[in-house]
A and B are shown apart, each in its own frame.
Chain A
Amino acid sequence: MPQIFPPSWNKLPIVAAIAGSLGPMLAVAGVWYYFSPWYTDVGYRPVQPVPYSHQLHVGELGLDCRYCHASVEISDVANVPPTQTCMNCHQTVMRDSELLAPIRDSAQSGRPMRWIRVHDLPDYAYFAHRAHVTAGIGCVTCHGRIDEMETVTQMTPLSMSWCLDCHRNPGPHRRPVAEVTNMRWTPPRDVQALTAQLDRERPVNPPTDCSGCHR
């Protein structure tokens, strides 16, 4: 009677063992990365109705963040500006640009612009811009170098563990409040001295409890 299993099948247990151990590890690693906000959210760059360039307006022209996002220091929400804010300049500058047609339409018709949200927290997370900006957390810390972006892109995962990394140790992420909107600010050589000084002047105690952000 011929053998049912040829000799090559003798390797089967080893192959099975290797595949059995590598497979789950790969699966775990795959889920770990591909299901995380690092993969799903970072780099999100939707096409906006008007290709507003932060690189041009902030990087080259030097507009302050708060010219448009005026409520960032007093409200939980950093507002997206009303059409009127665009028209403040663009009724004289680039008034015939094809790209700005939707803005002019909006100003004329009274129909609001519909921008696509880039930095989108889940609805059960309550983030307060005012609390962060006035505590010396720079715009760049969460939003990246907006002044270098032609199109706004999400640079950080905005995940809970990412939030908590800072909430547990805010010191190194803080800067003088006057420098909050400064995109090019770099920490001084002696970071620890600055941190100590900031903690003295305005101690912070960011919540790490669920109720800090979830209501």
Chain B
Amino acid sequence: MNRTYWRSLAQIEDRPEFRTALEREFPEGASELPEGITRRDMMRLVGASLSLAGLAGCRRPVEEIVPFVNAPEEMVPGIPRYYATTMPFGRSAYGLVVESHEGRPTKIEGNPSHPATLGASSTRIQASVLGLYDPDRSQTVRLKGAPSSWTDFVTAWGELSKAHAADGGAGLAVFSESFSSPTLARLASDLRARYPQAVWATYEAVSDENRLAGLRAATGRDLDLVLRLDQASVLVALDADPLLTDLEMIRHARGFAAGRRAGPSGGAMNRLYAIEGVYSLTGAMADHRLRLESRQIAPFLAALAARLAPPAAGARPAGADVPGVDARWIDALAKDLLANRGKGLIVAGDRQPPAVHAAVCALNTYLGNTGTTVTYFETRDAALPSMSSLASLVSAMNAGTVQTLVVLGGNPVFDAPADLDFASAMAKVPHSIALGHTVDETSSRAEWHIPRAHYLESWGDARAAGGTLSVVQPLILPLFGGRTSVDVLGLMVGDKERPGYEIVRETWAPILGDDFDRKWNRVLHDGVLAGSELPQVVPTLTATPFAELASLVDGAAGSGRPDAGSAGGLEIVFLPSPSLHDGRFANDGWLQELPDPLTKLTWDNPALVSSRTADMLGLASGDVVRLDYESRSLELPVSILPGMADGVVALTLGYGRQRAGRIGSGVGFNTYTVRSSRAPGFDRGARLTGLGRTYPLAATQNHGSMEGRPIVRESTLAELRSGPSAPEPESAHAEGTPGALGVYPQETEHFSLWQEHAYDRGHQWGMTIDLNACIGCNACMTACQSENNVPVVGKDQVARQREMHWLRVDRYFSGDPSGNAEVVFQPVPCMHCEDAPCEQVCPVAATVHDAEGLNVMVYNRCIGTRYCSNNCPYKVRRFNFYNFTKDTPDILALAMNPDVTVRARGVMEKCTYCTQRINRAKIDARLAGRELRDGDVKTACQQACPASAIEFGDLRNPASRVVMAKADPRNYALLAELNTKPRTTYLAKVRNPNPDLEGVV
């Protein structure tokens, strides 16, 4: 890989396809040496420019002030404005509040009034602002690769539409992503009315089709569900990951954390059982986790159903045992669920077949969970994903009956199953039109490419899960003249160009009714239409919800334990990437560099196997293997992930893009090339063969053990209830848990070498991180990156441990590495030690304390000795080994937070407790003539956290939430024995194991 993230620019600039690009990023000659220049001339030039720079340095650089000609009303320079909008994502929608500085969106937060975000956000939401300023976004309409214009396209469409109108659209086909939007749904039905013969295919590479099909099988209706994890006492995740890769992860995490937090504070604590083959974040949070291949979920569920379903139902499946699973485990689980009727919840993963979902729906109904922990709604205004619709589209294309294909977003050439071979089918279509953010794999093969607008540039609308309506409101005009799918569909329906704004308002006219403009403005302001949730449906089960399950049970027989050479081969499982999802975020540097929550790998997607499977195959992490599955094969490295089920190989989707852009092209391995439409979730029959080569993997954490030190402290609920004090440190040298109030007493049992600061006036900032709530999702990391202008460094630098994240999430394994290893997560920002070891070794006083207890970093003083980082016991300081932001394309400067200095090469940096937010809040309060209130200052990580695990505030305010958190007996300081007196402390993790399962593995 290249040395730094942006150095790849030069290399890619040399590729022929970029040479011929319409608009060069830099003017001719700027990125290469003129011909015929000698080394000596070069040195002279450099010398001259250096001395000129030196002279110029005496005088200020001339800076201009460019005011408006006509200032927009209410826009005041220097005061950010906040607008509500919506990020549509598949059939989900995230209500957001976006911060805009002088008209450019810089930071995204969740909208507290929106049910899908509840004020929090996720990594993808945070990183989507970088996608807006992606310099690789397509900048022009293209006809057969050559620059064209929207007007030309409108004319060309006029010709096409005439031809199609003649035969009812028989030769017209539309490929769409799934969506849930009143406007798109209205336009789609108009389109069907106009072209009744047209083919419509909806496809998602990471699809919830199985769930919808299962619910249809169980209830006979088109329903979808919303999980209410906060209502659940017993949660069972069957190969499911509601806490991370599920699109509704924010509300799930919030609900789950509420149930976790209840335990230590005296309430009922929830208990999570995870049964899964791969290691998901949900599995990592589980109190009990059972390693089971994906194909064994059906037998497991049958065994569970045999214990749970009422005999009178007549549908109780046979089969009470799962090979390799202790029956006591299932017994205990069933007992727990029965004891918590109406407060239990069973969730199945989207890759599980429909029969599993149908059975889960039936069991939830029998257990009385419907309406409390799981609620059902009709799917409305939605395009539901359907693999069969894609298959029939492809066969129509191959048969030559499709004259015009319109790709309304999505990238089927990249992410459609390999056996369908979308690319060669597309080559047989005479006219193809592709809407895309970049000239991607699909757009580059299309006759017409239309640049797609980012959601922050679009008018649109969306229905969140549960039905809540909201409007997609643009914060900025399209930077590159992009169009939305509303624009394109609007053109197709009406044959003339209409502004998206008009089309959306037209849809909303009947929804809002009288007094439209006032209500419309209210919706735009609030970000949601109050009261637009769909009514709950209480489904009636069909007679035989378990019918299909039986055949799956038979199919899963012959549970191949890890013997990979045996007839069945390995189980192959396809996972959505926690960062890139299906690959659409591949060109987002923040997400590429964001470590995977469990493997901590960046910039890659190796195949994941358990250590026993790797041993069996003679493989180690980083070995390159050839994976054979059906008739296809793929070469990629493997990585060992403890806690995976044996005999499973997990492939992460979304990597290996060829035409993602300068960041994402050629990163990782394209696992879609072995995926089939028959089994897009999991299947048997994969084989791994070591090739005797290795491949470098870049992880941010290579060491998963705490080495016996009580870095993460954990306890069980039973121990916590019986013991009066904090969980006992496991090692003898950990002592000195801080006093009940966060500000430390002046006398501790430790002798301090330093003169102590008093910290007895003004605000004294402190933070707590509740390890019991933290799910390790990394949202805090991306939020910090966005707020604090943290650079991306590239794979090569990450491999040298030079990543720049101010906040990292450490992951520790415990237990048997080849068995059911347990995982704990620990976010580690700067601890803001009162006696900070970094300050004592800085020769130039570049890191010092301020009166409010912040350990501040003075970039201008820093001379880069890195002594501070050496002396930091928490290793939270980050050094700019290169000028990571200097050569980035100018447009990325627009994504920067203007309130935070952009650091140059050679200086140290680290978490500041978001000092810019503290200062802003202090001045705001001052101007409002009031004292700062608790909650006025929220750090970026705290605001983004879906689980509300982070509290931040003034330790001298006894009513503040952070002081209350620090009064919790679980409060402890990291490495307290060093007497650094950290202001950031942790609340110990609490597990809630089932006593019936003691000793049962």
Contact = CB atoms under 8 A, between A and B. Distances in A.
Contacts of A114: 64-66
B899 A75 contact: no
Contacts of A46: 62
Contact of A83 (B67, B852, B900, B927): B67
B750 interface: no
B265 interface: no
Interface in A1-59: 35, 40-41, 44, 46
A116 B860 CA distance: 26
B68 A75 contact: no
A84 B69 CA distance: 6
Interface in B56-74: 58-60, 62-71
Given A40-B60, A44-B60, A211-B854, A76 B901 contact: no
Contacts of B900: 215
B65 A116 contact: yes
Contacts of B60: 40-41, 44, 120
B477 to A, nearest CB: 15
Interface string A197-215: 0000000010101111011
Interface stretch (B153-161, B915-923, B930-938): B915-923
Contacts of B915: 211, 215
A182 to B, nearest CB: 21
A156 interface: no
B899 A215 contact: yes
B430 to A, nearest CB: 44
Contact of B856 (A82, A115, A210): A210
A91 to B, nearest CB: 13
A74 interface: yes
A112 B66 CA distance: 6
A145 interface: no
Interface of A is mostly: loop
B756 interface: no
B848 interface: yes
Contact of B70 (A44, A83, A130, A209): A83
A71 B67 contact: no
A134 B927 contact: yes
**Residue among A40, A107, A112 with most chain B CB within 10 A:** A112
A188 interface: no
B926 A134 contact: yes
Contacts of A211: 850, 852, 854, 856, 912, 915, 919
Contacts of A74: 76, 79, 927
A55 B63 CA distance: 23
Contacts of A80: 65, 67
A117 B60 CA distance: 10
A67 interface: no
Interface in B882-926: 899-901, 912, 915-916, 919, 923, 926
B851 interface: yes
B67 A115 contact: yes
A152 B62 CA distance: 15
Contacts of A142: none
A106 B848 CA distance: 48
A211 B901 CA distance: 12
Contact of A209 (B68, B856, B859): B856
B856 A111 contact: no
A116 B63 contact: yes
B68 A83 contact: yes
A123 B901 contact: yes
A16 to B, nearest CB: 31
Nearest to A41: B60
A79 interface: yes
Contacts of A77: 77-78
Contacts of B262: none
A113 B71 CA distance: 13
B858 interface: yes
Nearest to B861: A210
Contacts of B927: 74, 130-131, 134
A211 B77 CA distance: 23
A84 B63 CA distance: 22
A51 to B, nearest CB: 16
A117 B64 contact: yes
Contacts of B851: 207, 209
Contacts of A71: 76-79
A80 B71 CA distance: 11
Given A82-B70, A128-B923, A210-B858, A215 B65 contact: no
Interface of A: 35, 40-41, 44, 46, 71, 74-77, 79-84, 106-107, 110-117, 120, 123-124, 126, 128, 130-131, 134, 205, 207, 209-212, 214-215
The 3 closest A-B pairs by CB, nearest first: A77-B78, A209-B850, A75-B78
Given A71-B78, A214-B856, 20 more contacts: A40-B58, A40-B59, A44-B60, A76-B78, A80-B65, A82-B68, A84-B68, A106-B69, A111-B69, A116-B63, A116-B65, A124-B859, A134-B926, A134-B927, A210-B856, A211-B852, A211-B912, A212-B850, A214-B858, A215-B915
